[in-house]
Amino acid sequence: MENTQLASHEAIEIREFISQEMLGIKKVSASLNMVNDQELKNFMQDSIASKKTTLQNIQSTLGFNAK
């Protein structure tokens, strides 16, 4: 039988990681309109997409239904 319960320190670390990813998304999104270089803008958009995918993977792995 698989143990799906997280230890308290694991839950704290996951919460911190999620917070950092969300903050990263907000920061990059906020500065996206100030960027004129298309290559940099593409990189930033890819970074945002990657962070969102990471968060969705965490949600699905841990069984969260929130979006």
What's the average model confidence in pLDDT over 29-44? 97
What is the spatial distance between Cα 30 and Cα 10, in angstroms, rounded to a whole number? 30
pLDDT at 27 over 80: yes
Q: Is residue 17 in some structural domain?
A: yes
The boundaries of the domain holding residue 27 are 8-62
What's the mean pLDDT when you consider all of the chain?
Answer: 90
67 lies in a domain? no
1 is a domain residue: no
**pTM for this structure?**
0.79
Q: What is the mean pLDDT of residues 11-18?
A: 93
Which tops the pLDDT comparison, 20 or 64? 20
Q: Are 29 and 48 in contact (CB under 8 A)?
A: yes
Query: For residue 55, is it within any domain?
Result: yes
Is residue 38 in a domain? yes
**Could you give the number of structural domains in the chain?**
1
Residue 25 forms part of a structural domain: yes
